[in-house]
Structure 1
């Protein structure tokens, strides 16, 4: 993943709509690239991690799940297949929701009960959208709220953090995965050092990342895939800020993981992120009400 290009802005709230518009513009490309079953980041990192963090919760009878920023519905379909009795799948982009509806319909023929999944438009930066969701759900709460690989694309997290206190049931959990703030959204550069072993004469590859900025990194344009038609916005948050917004809303940390690729994921491209096996690609966390 190429390093993001910083953009001038003193107010991240001003970038809410441009951030969402970029995802609408690349929706079809994203869906075609990710596909129905996800890419390597999903199969090797996200899905195994979500299984560990959510498995027991999804197994509860009558589990209700809320999938935020569902994209093409990958996680919504996964939640339904893994035991959730009902899934509300949301996205701020109408284009993404249309793609998700198509994928859900296709999955119905593969054993996933599409009747479990309800799609609705919801912009996670808009408090009014959360108010409407809470009103529509009435007294019902969610056992699982999931934001998979989305928070680094969101200009402000405060509306979500506040809404979670009204969305989660007494034993409910909020789980999120993001690109690792230290090694990705900070703009860290990838270094490749080729060295000959003096004892064997074999050429070895030493990989490292250089982090020059971490605490204060402005929003930046970047890509998830090198040839995507338009760049999207990334919002870097150091770990204490990322978690702090939810702590201030009254949630507590329940679990934390840093998934990394392994030697089994090796790719021929020397610079591939999958080859940096000592540096985690993702940060995943689970929270609950205090």
Structure 2
């Protein structure tokens, strides 16, 4: 099942890659730029001087940001086309990053205990085999190393999510439904800040809903020890500049950031 699902994930992201890369590098991913990535960095342990692997690196924007913080980076992604974009950026502006096309849920060919940290930004929820991904992270980490990842908050971003509105149409609540529905589906969407009349094919993003217990139990089963769990709210200036962020400040959590350590013994 994993092999078939991985192949479909790769196909979708290869198809998304060109538009995704253009959108991200032209500032249309405002959630990443103003909320999810700054929150990830704020919660991230020190990585200066560390050997780091980025699970689900995509076209490499976040990978490059990690490298600029003094880490030695390897980027891993299942999409050949995404890695091609990342490699081209590295060729144009070298930061010493190595890129590899591979699922993060299988043995990627890199040596055991060869990294100090595994980072993953908004990617683990989009892979079919979470347990395999966490085991691979554990294998790659040296004793004392850590995994630090962000995902859509599984308690709030559920298959039955919906906004509740008052008589004036103002959003006043968040409906959470079908929390335990783990049925996979493919979501079609585009970045919301693109002009509405643009002829842009929506991204096809395979989704694999899970509970918060699924994530934490996968970490425990692999041998990790949880060290931090963060549910950030958008910053005040971000809510002022992007008013729809206020829904995730006041009504529910959009983002979950987890840090866990591989024990030294």
**Smaller-chain TM-score range?**
0.7 to 0.9
- The residue aligned with 1:146 is 119
1:85-110 Cα shifts (integer Å, max 9, x gaps): x111111111000111122234x2xx
CA contact (8 A) 2:188 2:202 kept: no
- Compute the displacement of 1:38 (Å): 7.5
Q: What aligned pairs does 1:50-69 form with structure 2 within 5 A after superposition?
A: 50-56=40-46, 58-59=47-48, 62-69=49-56
Matched, 1:43 2:29: no
CA contact (8 A) 1:64 1:142 kept: yes
- The residue aligned with 1:241 is 214
- The residue aligned with 1:80 is 67
Matched, 1:94 2:72: no
- Compute the displacement of 1:277 (Å): 2.0
CA RMSD, Structure 1 to Structure 2 (Å): 2.6
- TM-score if structure 1 supplies the norm length? 0.78
Secondary structure in 2 aligned to 1:119? strand
- The residue aligned with 2:194 is none
Secondary structure in 2 aligned to 1:223? strand
Q: Unaligned stretches of 5+ in structure 2?
A: 192-199
Matched, 1:118 2:104: no
Note closer, same or farther for the CA distance 1:241–1:13 as it changes in structure 2 (3 Å cut).
Answer: farther
Q: What aligned pairs does 1:151-230 form with structure 2 within 5 A after superposition?
A: 151-194=124-167, 205-225=170-190, 228-230=201-203
Find the aligned partners of 1:150 and 1:178 in 2 and give their Cα distance: 7
Which 10-residue stretch deviates more, 30-39 or 206-215? 30-39
Secondary structure in 1 aligned to 2:110? helix
Secondary structure in 2 aligned to 1:276? helix
- Compute the displacement of 1:251 (Å): 0.5
- The residue aligned with 1:4 is none
Between structure 1 and structure 2, the one with the greater Rg is: 1
Find the aligned partners of 1:38 and 1:166 in 2 and give their Cα distance: 36
- Compute the displacement of 1:207 (Å): 2.5
Q: Unaligned stretches of 5+ in structure 1?
A: 1-10, 196-203
Matched, 1:276 2:248: yes
